[in-house]
Amino acid sequence: MTGDLFANEPPRNLLPFDGKALLLRDIMPPDDADRTFARLKTGIVWQQEIARIHGKEIAVPRLTAWYGEVAYRYSGVYHPAAPFPSIIAPLRDLAEDLAGGGVSFNTVLLNQYRDGRDSVSWHADDEEVLGQNPIIASLSFGEERRFHLRHKKTGDRISIDLPHNSALIMSGETQHCWLHQLPKTARQVGPRINLTFRKTQSESR
């Protein structure tokens, strides 16, 4: 299906060492990408999560949703298994195709950044349930936003602009050695939707 997509320009590793990050552009026909963005925006039940930081309750600066074939504990909250909706199932197939290597994803975390004030701060997707050296396929639709990676030891920094209709595939030691964030921006930007597909081990209540 995506066999000849990258025939002209094979993606190169954007990390200098200790991991792999590939940016794949134009992952589907433009009309499909626009339709996917619109359907995700209106068809997903978006949640406003509240985080407790130093005893204060703070609205997380983005909207989120989670689906998975296995239960998952996130920020201390137990999420029971919730099957992929029909909008997401074909995106999972595409993500698996793009990630290569026979990977199968069973969970997805969605983020909606409504404007430049929405963000995600420095973190790594290094939870134990994701296993050693997880492959993460992160799909982007909507407004282009800048993504940063920062090496935990050397402080090396990489900036990647994540365009509409693209996938960032992170693998190898990336989650052990690098943090990532999507910072706020003062630019006037519209909404962006991100889906990070992961393979998660089942967690008990």
Ligand X SMILES: O=C(O)CCC(=O)C(=O)O
Which residues lie near Mn ion (CB under 5 A)? 125
Nearest residue (CB) to Mn ion, 70 versus 124: 124
DSSP string, 145-199: EEEEEEETTT--EEEEEE-TTEEEEEETTHHHHEEEEE---SS----EEEEEEE-
- Interface pattern 104-143 for ligand X (x via CB under 6 A): -----x-x--------x----x------------x-----
Shortest distance, position 8 Cβ to ligand X, whole Å:
25
Residue whose beta carbon is closest to Mn ion: 125
Q: Is 180 in the site for ligand X (CB under 6 A)?
A: yes
Q: Cα dihedral angle (49, 53, 58, 62), rounded to 10 degrees? A: -50
DSSP character for 33?
Answer: H
| Out of 166, 174, 196, 200, the residue judged to bind ligand X by CB under 6 A | 196
| Out of 37, 84, 147, 197, the residue judged to bind ligand X by CB under 6 A | 147
Instruction: Characterise 126 by phi-psi region: left (phi > 0), alpha (psi -120 to 50), beta (else).
Output: alpha
Site residues (CB under 6 A) for ligand X?
Answer: 109, 111, 120, 125, 138, 147, 162, 180, 182, 194, 196
